[in-house]
Amino acid sequence: MGPNNTSSLISAARRRRELTRAKAIQAIRELDHAGTPVTFEAVARTGRVSRSWLYSQPDIRADIERLRNTTQQAPSPPIPASQRASDPSLRQRLAEATERNRQLTQDNARLRRQLAHALGDQRTSPPSR
């Protein structure tokens, strides 16, 4: 029986696992940044990892599913996650648009009053000859 090299095997397996994770995460980032639909097949092909391994990693699987669902619902071409508006950002934009709408409504009412006064003054003033 040879020397016990269990620790070397365990160490090599850890390094291989970390490298595979890094390749998969990098592939997800590259696909998302490019606006390419993020699917298990695309991540496996880009990262050169197996699809079955991707399915077995809960965190990586969740990321792929989240991005896949987001890009499937998005208009073409898909917008990378880093460029999508967040919910707080959208709420802020809505609040600003609502305030702008209120201001325009007030301006419109003021201009209508001014026009009514100008037309009234025009009718009551004697015609000029």
Q: Encode pLDDT of 30-59 as tens digits.
A: 998 888 899 999 999 999 999 999 999 999
C-beta separation of 28 from 43 below 8 A = yes
Instruction: Provide the CA 49 distance to its chain's centre, in angstroms.
Output: 26
C-beta separation of 26 from 47 below 8 A = yes
Cα–Cα nearest to 43, from 19, 60, 66: 60
Confidence at residue 83, expressed as pLDDT on a 0 to 100 scale = 77
Confidence at residue 95, expressed as pLDDT on a 0 to 100 scale = 95
Tokens of 75: 């208009």
Domain positions in the chain:
1-84, 85-129
Q: Encode pLDDT of 1-13 as tens digits.
A: 456 778 889 999 9
pTM: 0.53
Cα–Cα nearest to 38, from 6, 68, 82: 68
pLDDT band, very low/low/confident/very high, at 75 (cuts 50, 70, 90)? low
Cα–Cα nearest to 20, from 47, 55, 59: 47
